Amino acid sequence: MVIGADGEQLGVMAPADALTLAEEEGLDLVEVAANSRPPVCRIMDYGKYKYEQKKKAGKPAHSATLKEIKLRPAPAAFRPSVVAIGSSTGGPQALFKVLGDLGKLDAPIFITQHMPPTFTRILAEHIARSTGLTAAEGQDGEVVQPGRLYVAPGGKHLTVETKGVQKVIRLDDGPPENFCKPAVDPMLRSLIKAYGGNKVLCAILTGMGSDGAKGAEQLADAGGVVLAQDEATSVVWGMPGATAQRGAAHQLLPVGEIGGALKRFAAGGGR
């Protein structure tokens, strides 16, 4: 069941149609009742909704002043072998922008976007159509190929392991992390182990909660580079805000600059 932005019940529709409708209106598709059959999703401006909820509760609408942001200096001679991106609320639109600006790379790209099953497959198809990149949900046991983009399927954590000279995708059906499944943190931990932290380039985009912040800190400590989306262009400055406030980010950028920054770092000239 899909509920429109005005509260009207739009009826049961295919996930692709619901996601497309939300994109056309420039809004978010938010799952509000996952346990019902069929699941209930609502098309809404989630950032505005959270802002209004905070105002009602008498809480500050923004969190940038909670802690001074200190950015890390980028490591010298950094040349990544893999790119990882984490996102949640507002993520699809941010991903289309970032990936469109990034373009094709030799390195594989892994994305964890908080979405239920089926919607992640549709997201991968939309990414492929809008950017021209080769994109699909990652499959368990799939050998990682250069230049391909892999989306974590809803309901499974996407991880990568080394098998001989190859990197292989593993889908983890373990418990949620940070209340999310798929979650960004297990993806980042696995990439650090499989590639080495100093070979991983990461971007944490708009999203509620703090998923990805711990993994980003571990990655930065291991010599990788972390970019975080700024508050002004985030629908919800949860995930990137937590990453920045944790001191894990090397750059804090508006969404319109992240794709270009990723491209420069991927080419070895991002400092």
Residues taking part in catalysis: 88, 114, 211
Contact status, residue 23 vs residue 93, Cβ threshold 8 Å: yes
Residue recorded with tokens 């200190």: 70
Nearest C-alpha neighbor of 96 from the set 216, 231, 267, 259: 259
Amino acid at 174: G
- Dump the DSSP string for 1-45: -EE-TTS-EEE---HHHHHHHHHHTT-EEEEEETTSSS-EEEEE-
Place of tokens 């991903």: 95
- CA-wise closest residue to 154 among 67, 31, 53: 31
